[in-house]
């Protein structure tokens, strides 16, 4: 059923059947047309305001929940529904895992055209909340106002905020009262910083006019409970900066290093900024099954430490190394997986496009006493070519962990030329992974897949696939 007014088409009594890409819920109209719905979960019966009407499907948002799903849970966070993160916080974790596993399985079959493979039960996260070891928050003098605040004549005080950008509204910041993604003292540090800044009249960043003092706050922790705090400041105010830093360090002895950068640019990226060390060594040390890693302000490191460790263990298990293999690790990043498997291999060769990541990989290999790893920097499709293969030993096992876009077709073609006996494909996007597997299926058999949940309360899921040469 549907009803119309001048502006809206509303589909009525839509039963949401399952979850789809990017966390939307999927239902059907009476005539069988697909409806992609945000703001609801599978099992709900809803009225849907249509935002896009295509020939084969509708896209819309739930405006009325007529009957609640049996999978619903009460969200923990007061910001649920406004904040752009944790969109599945109102769904039981067991059903989150079911839908994630189903999505991966369907992508491999539908997009990859691969039918006969073993699906190992999804590996759920040990922690469903407080699992992130890195969080970034933004300062703003233009706090997001609720509809009640906008329509009310009351004075709600300061409009300064420290929190997350509202989805689709880059200039507006949700002032966070709480967040369940990073364990304490993350919330306490953020609230203390904001409180001190407001009390002492420090300028919060003005995104529209590009001015102010306090710009961003980043916090990292390691598994030992040691913390790094990074401030981005739009301009230098030495006295204000030093008083703020002294306040935070005195209040939170868990902070082992405090660093800052002056950033007058148009964006918040730190990768081209000079980092100044105010306190401590400027980095944290992390350990994973005996391997040591130096984590700096710009370092890439898996944000769910405990689950990343499980991911690496399963990758090594899938590779099933005997000790005499040559292993290629494509998109090696800082070489974490390469070094994790190196203790079980004859030689590991890693390739990555970011020079800073390669520098870190080399440093970590030296730190861990690994002499059987070699790392190369360059665009994968250009470095991983015929000449490279002619000048390096043939790979027995190839591990690849590309970004969300998956592998370039030239890289896939080169893997087929190289023809390693075994490929372990780690992916954060099973749709592009399935596309790549389709290009390889004439030469390789997909033996099994293992979905891994790195980000509870969200729709994101990783997947490990084991391929054996035919």
Question: Catalytic residue positions?
Answer: 428
Token match 């706090």: residue? 143
| Structure tokens given for 14 | 């839509």
Q: Is 414 annotated as a binding residue?
A: no
Euclidean distance between the first and final Cα of the chain, in Å? 52
Tallying the residues shown for the chain, one arrives at 470
Could you give the angle at the alpha carbon of 424 between the alpha carbons of 19 and 446, nearest 5°?
65
| Residue 305, both tokens | 């430490």
Distance CA 379, CA 145 (A): 44
The answer to whether 93 is a known ligand-binding residue is no
C-alpha to C-alpha distance for 449 and 225, rounded to whole angstroms: 34
Measured in degrees and rounded to the nearest 5, phi and psi for residue 41 equal -130, 160
339 is in an annotated binding site: no
Q: Is residue 401 a known part of a binding site?
A: yes
The CA distance from 292 to 447, in Å, is: 32
Q: Compute and round to an integer the Cα radius of gyration of the chain.
A: 24
- Do 138 and 173 form a contact (C-beta atoms < 8 A)? yes
Tell me phi and psi for residue 264, to 5 degrees: -95, 10
* DSSP type of residue 136: E
Let me know the angle formed at the C-alpha of 325 by 319 and 331, rounded to the nearest 5 degrees: 60
User: Which positions make up the binding site for S-adenosyl-L-methionine?
Assistant: 302, 331, 352, 401
């Amino acid at each position: 059923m549907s009803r119309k007014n001048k502006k809206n088409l509303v589909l009525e009594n839509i039963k949401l059947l399952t979850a789809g890409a990017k966390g939307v819920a999927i239902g059907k109209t009476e005539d069988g047309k697909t409806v992609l719905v945000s703001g609801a979960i599978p099992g709900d019966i809803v009225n849907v305001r249509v935002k896009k009407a295509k020939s084969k499907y509708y896209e819309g948002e739930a405006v009325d929940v007529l009957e609640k799903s049996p999978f619903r849970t009460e969200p923990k966070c007061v910001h649920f529904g406004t904040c752009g993160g944790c969109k599945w916080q109102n769904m039981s974790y067991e059903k989150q895992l079911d839908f994630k596993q189903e999505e991966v399985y369907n992508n491999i079959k539908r997009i990859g055209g691969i039918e006969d493979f073993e699906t190992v039960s999804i590996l759920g996260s040990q922690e469903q909340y407080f699992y992130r070891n890195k969080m970034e928050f933004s300062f703003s003098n233009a706090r997001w106002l609720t509809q009640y605040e906008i329509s009310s004549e009351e004075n709600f005080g300061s409009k300064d905020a420290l929190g997350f950008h509202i989805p689709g509204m880059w200039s507006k910041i949700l002032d966070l009262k709480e967040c369940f993604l990073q364990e304490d003292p993350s919330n306490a540090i953020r609230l203390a910083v904001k409180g001190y800044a407001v009390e002492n009249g420090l300028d919060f960043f003005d995104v529209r006019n590009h001015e102010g003092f306090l710009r961003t706050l980043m916090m990292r922790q390691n598994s030992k409970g040691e913390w790094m705090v990074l401030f981005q400041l739009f301009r230098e105010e030495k006295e204000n900066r030093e008083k703020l830093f002294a306040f935070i360090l005195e209040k939170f002895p868990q902070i082992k290093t405090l660093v800052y950068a002056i950033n007058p640019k148009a964006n918040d990226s730190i990768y081209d900024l000079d980092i100044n060390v105010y306190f401590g060594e400027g980095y944290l040390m992390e350990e994973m099954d005996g391997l040591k890693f130096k984590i700096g302000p710009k370092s890439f490191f898996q944000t769910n430490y405990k689950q990343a460790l499980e991911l690496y263990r399963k990758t090594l298990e899938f590779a099933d190394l005997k000790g005499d293999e040559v292993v290629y690790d494509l998109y090696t990043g800082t070489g974490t997986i390469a070094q994790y498997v190196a203790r079980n291999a004859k030689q590991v060769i890693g390739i990555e496009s970011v020079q800073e990541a390669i520098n870190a990989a080399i440093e970590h290999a030296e730190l861990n006493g690994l002499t059987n790893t070699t790392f190369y920097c360059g665009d994968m499709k250009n470095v991983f070519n015929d000449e490279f293969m002619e000048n390096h030993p043939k790979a027995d096992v190839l591990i690849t962990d590309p970004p969300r876009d998956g592998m370039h077709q030239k890289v896939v073609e080169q893997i087929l030329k190289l023809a390693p006996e075994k490929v372990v494909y780690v992916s954060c996007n099973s749709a592009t992974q399935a596309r790549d597997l389709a290009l390889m299926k004439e030469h390789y058999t997909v033996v099994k897949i293992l979905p891994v949940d790195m980000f509870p309360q969200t729709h994101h899921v990783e997947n490990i696939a084991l391929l054996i040469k035919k």
